[in-house]
Amino acid sequence: MNKNKQKVNAAIVIIGNEILSGRTQDVNVVAISKWLNELGVKLEEVRVIPDIEVSIIKTVRELKKFFKYVFTTGGIGPTHDDITAKSIAKAFHLSYGYHKEAYAILEKYYGKKNFTPGRKKMAMMPIKASLILNPSSGAPGFIVDNVYCLPGVPSILESMLGGLKNKIKGGKKILTETISAQTIESEIAKALEKIQHKFNKVEIGSYPFFRLGKIGVSIVIRSDDKKKIDDCYKKIVSFLKMRKINMVGKK
Amino acid sequence: MNKNKQKVNAAIVIIGNEILSGRTQDVNVVAISKWLNELGVKLEEVRVIPDIEVSIIKTVRELKKFFKYVFTTGGIGPTHDDITAKSIAKAFHLSYGYHKEAYAILEKYYGKKNFTPGRKKMAMMPIKASLILNPSSGAPGFIVDNVYCLPGVPSILESMLGGLKNKIKGGKKILTETISAQTIESEIAKALEKIQHKFNKVEIGSYPFFRLGKIGVSIVIRSDDKKKIDDCYKKIVSFLKMRKINMVGKK
C-alpha cells in the first residue's frame, strides 16, 4: 500500500471550465479546507481541470492512490457539461446507470409529474456508490472508495459537508496561531529560519500584508501539537520583542 | 515533441501552504486567466501544492512537458519558506546562485547600505534565468524555458503581467458570450446538449445562479471563432424565445 495513504491527507479536484476561464472565482477550496482542518485532515493538493472525461479519469486515478481522501467539486448537475458521475464510473471501472436510492430521493423531491429526463440524469452515477445527502436542493453527491463527489455551487456544497462528517476519519486537529508584526519579511527572515530549524514539526509560514495603508508580516504557525505551537509562538514573540517590533496579534 | 506543446495552452502552479490551509483565498488564478484570454492562451490546468521542494520539482517537471506555458505563483520572497527559485533550478538541473542582473536591480532598489542578507536572497535563482521586471516592489520574477515564476502577492503579481506580454506568443483571442436566462438547468438541458453537438468547436457551459432572490442559469459560450460564437448564440437565443424563457442578457 502506498505510504502516503497512511497519512490523514486530502486532495481536491475542481472540475470546472468556468474556474479555468477566469469567469468564476472559486471559493470551495477555502470552505473544504477549513472544514478538513476541524476534522484533522490536511489538504495537500488541489487541481483545477476542465470538463473533459479523460482529464477527470486520469486525475482521479492518480490522486486516489496518493491521498486518503479525494473530493471532487462540480459537474454533477443535469446538463451536457456535467460529466463527473460518468467519468468517475469509468475511472473505477464501475457500471453507470440509475442509482436506485438517488432516483427515489429525486422523484420524491420533484414529484413524479415533474421528474423530467434532465432531472433523472442527476440519479445517474456509479450504481453501487454511497450517497451524500443534499439538504438544499435534493440532488445527492456520491462516494466511491475514497473519492467524494460534491456539487460546484458553493452554498449547496457547504450544506452537504455537515452530513459527511461521520464518514471522514480525521487525525489530530490541525491548530494554527498567527502573529501579525509591523515589519518586513527581510528583517525577520534569518531569525524565522533558525526557529523553523529548531521546531521541525511545526510549519512556519510568513506572509506580507498591506492593510489600511500599513505594511506588515503575518507569521503563521501550524501543527497538530499544541505544546509545540505554544513553544514556537513564545520563541517568535520573544524574538520580536527583543527586536522592538510591534505586534498586532490576538494574544 | 509532445503534441500538446503545439497547443497555445497554459497551466498555473500555486505554491502556497496558505492557500491549502484555507487561510488565504487565491485570486491569482482569475487574474492570470483573464490576462491569458486576452493574449489567446487557454488556461487548462491549475495545481495548488505545498511549499515542499520535491512537490515543486515533480509538478513543474510534469507540467512543463504538457503545456506551452507554465506560471508559478508564490515562494520567491526572502524567508525560509520561499523555496521556489531553488526548486526550479533543481527541476531544470541548473546552477543556483546570485543572478547578476537581479542583484544589481535589488541593490539599486534598496541602496547598498540597506541591502541585507534577507534581501540578497531574492537575487538568488537559476543564474541564467531571464528576469520578469517588478514595477511595484523591486524583486524580479524569472523565466526558465517555458516556466514563468511570479510572486504570490496579488497586487505585485498583477503589476508584473504587463511587462510579460511581449514574451507570450498567444493564438487567437478566446471570445466569450453569456446568456443569463430565468430558468433552471433541467428545463434546458436537452436542448443545450443538441446545440453543443451541432457546434462542436464551441464550448457551451451552463451555470445555475442565485441572485437577488432570483434563480437562473448563465449559459456561457467560448471559442476563438467569432462567427461560430455568433451562430451558436443565435441558436440558443431562438430556442429560449421559442420556449418563452426570459433573458437578462447583454444583447
Q: Give residue-wise pLDDT tens across range A139-184.
A: 999 999 999 999 999 999 999 998 898 899 999 998 999 999 999 9
Residue whose grid cell is 496579488? B154
CATH 3.40.50.300 fits B3-167, yes or no: no
Predicted confidence (pLDDT) at residue A23 exceeds the cutoff of 60: yes
For residue A52, give the chain B residue with the closest CA.
B44
Mean pLDDT, chain B, integer = 93
| Backbone dihedral region for residue A219 (phi beyond 0: left; psi -120 to 50: alpha; all else: beta) | beta
Which chain A residues touch B205 with a CB distance below 8 Å? 17-18, 51, 81
The domain A175-242: what is its CATH number?
3.30.70.1130
Quick one: cell of A87?
467519468
Predicted confidence (pLDDT) at residue A1 exceeds the cutoff of 70: no
pLDDT attached to residue B61: 98
Residues sharing a CB contact under 8 Å with residue A218, sequence separation 6 or more, in sequence order: A178, A179, A180, A181, A206, A207, A208, A209
pLDDT attached to residue A6: 64
Inter-chain CB proximity A22 and B45 less than 8 Å: no
Inter-chain CB proximity A77 and B185 less than 8 Å: yes
CA distance B77 to B140: 10
CA distance A119 to B195: 19
CA distance B77 to B86: 12
Instruction: State how far residue B199 is from chain A, nearest Cα, in angstroms.
Output: 13
Instruction: State how far residue B115 is from chain A, nearest Cα, in angstroms.
Output: 10
Inter-chain CB proximity A118 and B22 less than 8 Å: no
Q: pLDDT tens digit string along A107-144?
A: 999 999 999 988 999 999 999 999 999 998 889 999 99
Inter-chain CB proximity B43 and A22 less than 8 Å: yes
pLDDT attached to residue B1: 41
Which chain A residues touch B24 with a CB distance below 8 Å? 207
Mean pLDDT, chain A, integer = 93
Average pLDDT score over residue span A191-215: 90
Which chain A residues touch B229 with a CB distance below 8 Å? none
For residue A17, give the chain B residue with the closest CA.
B205
Average pLDDT score over residue span B140-161: 97
- Cβ atoms of B139 and B82 within 8 Å: the answer is no
pLDDT attached to residue B249: 57
Q: Which of A165-169, B36-40, B114-118 has the highest mean pLDDT?
A: B36-40
Sheet holding B203-211, edge to edge: B175-181, B214-223, B203-211
CA distance A92 to A128: 11
Predicted confidence (pLDDT) at residue B251 exceeds the cutoff of 70: no
Q: Which residues pair with A43 in a beta bridge?
A: A10
pLDDT attached to residue A197: 95
Inter-chain CB proximity A189 and B78 less than 8 Å: yes
pLDDT band at A229 (very low <50, low <70, confident <90, very high): very high
* Per-domain boundaries in chain B: 3-167, 175-242
- Provide ipTM, 2 decimals: 0.92
Which chain A residues touch B45 with a CB distance below 8 Å? 20, 47-50, 55
- Helix spans in chain A (H): 17-20, 28-39, 53-66, 84-91, 100-110, 117-121, 154-164, 185-198, 226-242
Q: Between chain A and chain B, how many beta carbons pairs sit less than 8 Å apart?
A: 177
pLDDT band at B3 (very low <50, low <70, confident <90, very high): very low
Inter-chain CB proximity A20 and B77 less than 8 Å: no
The pairing of beta strand B214-223 with beta strand B203-211: antiparallel
Instruction: State how far residue B227 is from chain A, nearest Cα, in angstroms.
Output: 20
Quick one: cell of A234?
513564545
Inter-chain CB proximity A43 and B20 less than 8 Å: yes
Which chain A residues touch B55 with a CB distance below 8 Å? 45
* DSSP H or E segment with residue B72: strand B69-73
Residues sharing a CB contact under 8 Å with residue A59, sequence separation 6 or more, in sequence order: A13, A47, A49
3-state secondary structure of A11: strand
pTM: 0.93
Which chain A residues touch B37 with a CB distance below 8 Å? 21-22
- At residue A175, φ and ψ (nearest 5 deg) are -100, 150
pLDDT attached to residue B242: 95
pLDDT attached to residue A223: 94
pLDDT band at B214 (very low <50, low <70, confident <90, very high): confident
pLDDT attached to residue A62: 98
